Amino acid sequence: MKSISKTTIAITTIASAWLTASSQVAFAQQPNTARNPSRAAVTSPVNTPPATVETSPRGHQELIGTVVRASEVLGKDINNTVGDKVAKIDDFLLDVAGSRIVHVLVGSGGVAGIGEKRYLMPPSILRTDAASRATSVTLDKERLTGAPEFNPSRWDEYSMPDRISEVYRYYGQDPKVWLNRTETNRAAASRIELSKASQMIGSAVKNSRDEKLGSIDDLILDLESGRLVQVIVSSGGFLGIGDELSSVPPRALRYDINGKHWLLDVTKEDLAASPHFKKDQWPDLGDPTYVTGVYRAYKVEPYFGSQPRTAQDQGNSEADLSVTRKIRQEIVARDGLSLNARNVKIITVDGAVTLRGPVSSEAERRTIADIAKQYAAGNRVENQLEIKAESKKF
Q: Does residue 28 sit in the same domain as residue 177?
A: yes
pLDDT(352) > 60? yes
Whether residues 113 and 223 share a domain: the answer is no
What pLDDT was estimated at residue 123? 86
CATH code of 329's domain: 3.30.1340
Q: Which residue range forms the structural domain that includes residue 181? A: 2-193
Statement to judge: residues 122 and 232 lie in one domain: no
Is 303 part of any domain? no
10 and 116: one domain?
yes
**Same structural domain, 103 and 249:** no
277 shares a domain with 180: no
* 72 pLDDT more than 80: yes
Higher pLDDT, 69 or 50: 69
Looking at the fold, whether 224 and 151 belong to one and the same domain comes out as no
* More confident of the two residues 308 and 248: 248
- The answer to whether residue 375 sits within a structural domain is yes
392 occurs within a structural domain: no
What is residue 144's predicted lDDT score, i.e. its pLDDT? 85
Residue 268 and residue 345 share a domain: no
Mean pLDDT of 117-137: 76
| pLDDT tens digit sequence for 135-184 | 777 777 788 888 889 999 999 888 888 888 899 899 888 776 553 444 43
Q: Are residues 183 and 274 in the same domain?
A: no
Confidence of residue 111 (pLDDT cuts 50, 70, 90): low
Q: pTM score, two decimals? A: 0.64
Q: What is the 3-state secondary structure (H, E, C) of the chain?
A: CHHHHCCCEECCCCCCHHHHCCCCCEEECCCCCCCCCHHHHCCCHHHCCCCCCCECCCCCECCCCCCEEHHHHCCCEEECCCCCEEEEEEEEEEECCCCEEEEEEEEECCECCECCEEEEECHHHEEECCCCCCEEECCCHHHHHHCCECCHHHHHHHHCHHHHHHHHHHCCCCHHHHHHCCCCCCCCCCEEECEEHHHHCCCEEECCCCCEEEEEEEEEEEHHHCEEEEEEEECCECCCCECEEEEECHHHEEEECCCCEEEECCCHHHHHHCCEEECCCCCCCCCHHHHHHHHHHCCCCCCCCCCCCCHHHCCCCHHHHHHHHHHHHHHHHCCCCEHHHHCCEEEEECCEEEEEEEECCHHHHHHHHHHHHHHCHHHCEEEEEEECCCCCEC
Residues of the chain with pLDDT > 90, as a percent, come to 29
Average predicted confidence (pLDDT) for the chain: 76
Residue 93 covered by a domain: yes
With respect to residue 160, please indicate whether it lies within any of the assigned structural domains.
yes
pLDDT of residue 58: 40
Q: Is the same domain home to 157 and 267? A: no
As for how many domains the chain has, the answer is 3
Residue 306 domain-assigned (yes or no): no
